[in-house]
């Protein structure tokens, strides 16, 4: 089946939906999403949106905190844009209907690791869910937007998929849509558009322990790379320091705001340890806290550390963190006001992705990207807490304005596109191979490309991943596509990209820590790690 629109958006988190509302002013919009439209990394975000919303805060302070956390690799121009345009984008969310938490008639501003001041705008401890609720409602009421649920993007449509015979210029590739598997109808549909927005979110499912939902399989990064787009900084995977130990998959996240509220990290024997790693103690940035916990676990032989809130007023904890309190109590039989929380790190966020400029443009014409799938340069070697939702809002707005101008002034007409052809393939019943390969990739990445790395570990990971990816690609080419196979193919490629970038960076910086190069090396590595698709 062929679908034609002016704009095609792949993904339905805060980046995609906020972009859709603005793109709809300039043309027809299709949103394709893997599951239900509210299922996204955004929906799982507990903490909030970092923005300068008080008189005691300033743009300069927020910029400084972001640059300091990024360890020299954050692009100052992108950081300045995000910080200065953030408050207006936040007000737009309020206008859409997002109900942020207020106290005494003012926005209640929380604090998280790496921030020098309270600036986290939140909706109690379910900020992402509240933002997603309001955006989904606004999108559903907009007649220019059509949402296609249960559609899994297969591949971006470029010159390679047109019916015209032409010499393909690798320096001048256009994106004209995407093929997507209708997982209910069991067919691959063709979506054409003059502008395509990638907002597919993260890739946490590359790791066996992650806070990300099962849909976070790096689809956007993998598809863009295969189409020829530049990617960068894939080695910088942020591990959230505090997820509830033994809480299943995805790991249940204990918001960083809990530490901002006064929670203290301790070893199982009750000893505090963060003072040995950073003067900010439990409020240090995520890379430092995750590294500290990982080190303590290995040193002590423990399975988890403790996040202690027992010294804080119980009523205040229940008021500020109602969802965390209720979930821990009812689902995990843990009263956080009376018992310390056992926590471990888990893969949480990718600071790298598809390279964009400050207007969301990728290296492929007509292809834009925003949110976790993108690499705007904001996060550098480590993301400052609660800058992710802010980044998505700001750069989706800029991408909407830029792509509307592109549609109006520059974009060529969509050429004739070949519909999906799976003749010569067969339905396989060997899905145990898909499941086994997925688990093997996740375990390899956790064991060898986790919080602490080495040349030996990366070499082992590379050799094993190269073999697995070739097996997966061969299986893909002869088999009719399914959601599981598509996700496996994308996970395998993203894992390989992470390893390649990690092997290139011969230093320790931010989220990339290696035992072979323990120091930061500004002379040789004060730059992004770029891979050409």
Catalytic residue positions, numbered: 286
What lies within 8 Å, CB to CB, of 322 at 6+ separation is 124, 125
Q: What does residue 109 show for φ and ψ, rounded to 5 degrees? A: -105, 120
**HSE-up of 521 (CA within 13 Å, CB side)?**
15
Q: Do the Cβ atoms of 31 and 196 come closer than 8 Å?
A: no
Distance of CA 257 to the CA centre of its chain: 19
DSSP one-letter string for 397-411 = HHHHHHHHHHHHHTP
Q: If we measure between CA atoms, which residue out of 274, 306, 300, 273 comes closest to residue 288? A: 274
DSSP one-letter string for 284-306 = S-HHHHHHHHHHHHHHHT-S-EE
Bridge-partner residues for 162, per DSSP?
417
Give the pair of three-digit tokens for residue 452: 């602490």
Q: Do the Cβ atoms of 211 and 243 come closer than 8 Å?
A: yes
Phi-psi region of 31 (alpha: psi -120 to 50; beta: other; left: phi over 0): beta
DSSP one-letter string for 8-22 = EEE--SHHHHHHHHH
Cα gap 64→114, rounded to integer Å = 10
Cα gap 455→449, rounded to integer Å = 10
* Torsion sign, CA atoms 357, 360, 364, 366: negative
Cα gap 241→342, rounded to integer Å = 11
Q: What does residue 57 show for φ and ψ, rounded to 5 degrees? A: -100, 170
With 0-12 CB in 10 A as exposed, 13-18 as middle and 19+ as buried, what is 231? buried
Q: Do the Cβ atoms of 83 and 148 come closer than 8 Å?
A: no
DSSP one-letter string for 299-346 = HHT-S-EEEE-TTS-HHHHHHH-HHHHHHHHHHH---TTTSPEEEEEE
Q: For the chain, give me the number of helices (H) and strands (E)?
A: 15, 24
Q: Quickly tell me which residue has 């530049």 as its tokens.
A: 230
Cα gap 138→407, rounded to integer Å = 23
Q: Do the Cβ atoms of 168 and 161 come closer than 8 Å?
A: no
Q: If we measure between CA atoms, which residue out of 487, 490, 417, 489 comes closest to residue 177? A: 417
């Amino acid at each position: 089946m062929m679908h034609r629109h002016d704009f095609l958006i792949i993904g339905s988190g805060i980046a995609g939906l906020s972009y859709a509302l603005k793109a709809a002013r300039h043309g027809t919009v299709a949103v394709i999403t893997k599951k239900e439209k509210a299922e996204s990394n955004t929906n799982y975000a507990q903490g909030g949106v970092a923005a300068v919303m008080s008189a005691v805060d300033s743009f300069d302070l927020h910029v400084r905190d972001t640059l300091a956390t990024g360890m020299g690799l954050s692009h100052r121009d992108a950081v300045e844009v995000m910080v200065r345009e953030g408050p207006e984008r936040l007000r737009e969310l309020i206008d859409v209907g997002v109900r942020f938490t207020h106290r005494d008639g003012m926005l209640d501003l929380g604090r998280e690791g790496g921030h020098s001041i309270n600036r986290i705008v939140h909706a109690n401890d379910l900020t992402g869910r509240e933002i997603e609720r309001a955006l989904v409602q606004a999108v559903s009421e907009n007649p220019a937007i059509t949402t296609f649920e249960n559609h899994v993007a297969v591949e971006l449509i470029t010159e390679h998929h047109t019916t015209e015979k032409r010499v393909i210029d690798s320096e001048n590739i256009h994106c004209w849509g995407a093929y997507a598997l209708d997982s209910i109808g069991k067919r691959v549909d063709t979506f054409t558009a003059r502008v395509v927005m990638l907002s597919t979110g993260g890739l946490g499912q590359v790791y066996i322990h992650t806070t990300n939902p099962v849909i976070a399989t790096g689809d956007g990064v993998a598809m863009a790379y295969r189409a020829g787009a530049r990617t960068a900084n894939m080695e910088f995977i942020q591990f959230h320091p505090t997820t509830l130990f033994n809480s299943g998959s995805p790991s249940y996240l204990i918001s960083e705001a809990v530490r901002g509220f006064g929670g203290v990290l301790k070893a199982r024997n009750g000893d505090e340890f963060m003072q040995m790693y950073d003067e900010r103690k439990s409020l240090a940035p995520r890379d430092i806290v995750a590294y500290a916990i990982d080190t303590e676990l290995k040193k002590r032989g423990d399975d988890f550390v403790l996040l202690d809130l027992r010294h804080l007023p119980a009523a205040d904890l229940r008021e500020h963190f109602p969802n965390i309190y209720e979930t821990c109590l009812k689902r995990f039989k843990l009263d956080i006001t009376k018992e310390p929380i056992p926590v471990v790190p888990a893969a949480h966020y990718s600071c790298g992705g598809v390279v964009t400029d400050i207007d969301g443009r990728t290296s492929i014409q007509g292809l834009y990207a925003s949110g976790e799938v993108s690499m705007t340069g904001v996060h550098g070697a480590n993301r400052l807490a609660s800058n992710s939702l802010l980044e998505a809002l700001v750069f989706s707005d800029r991408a909407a304005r830029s792509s509307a101008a592109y549609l109006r002034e520059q974009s060529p007409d969509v050429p004739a596109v070949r519909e999906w052809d799976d003749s010569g393939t067969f339905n396989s019943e060997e899905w145990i191979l898909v499941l086994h390969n997925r688990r093997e990739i996740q375990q390899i990445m956790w064991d060898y490309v986790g919080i602490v790395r080495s040349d030996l570990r990366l070499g082992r990971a590379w050799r094993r991943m190269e073999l697995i990816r070739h097996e997966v690609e061969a299986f893909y080419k002869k088999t009719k596509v399914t959601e599981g196979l598509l996700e496996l193919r994308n996970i395998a490629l993203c894992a390989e990209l992470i390893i390649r970038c990690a092997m290139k960076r011969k230093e320790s910086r931010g989220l990339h820590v290696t035992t072979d190069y323990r120091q930061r090396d500004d002379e040789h590595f004060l730059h992004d790690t770029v891979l050409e698709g």
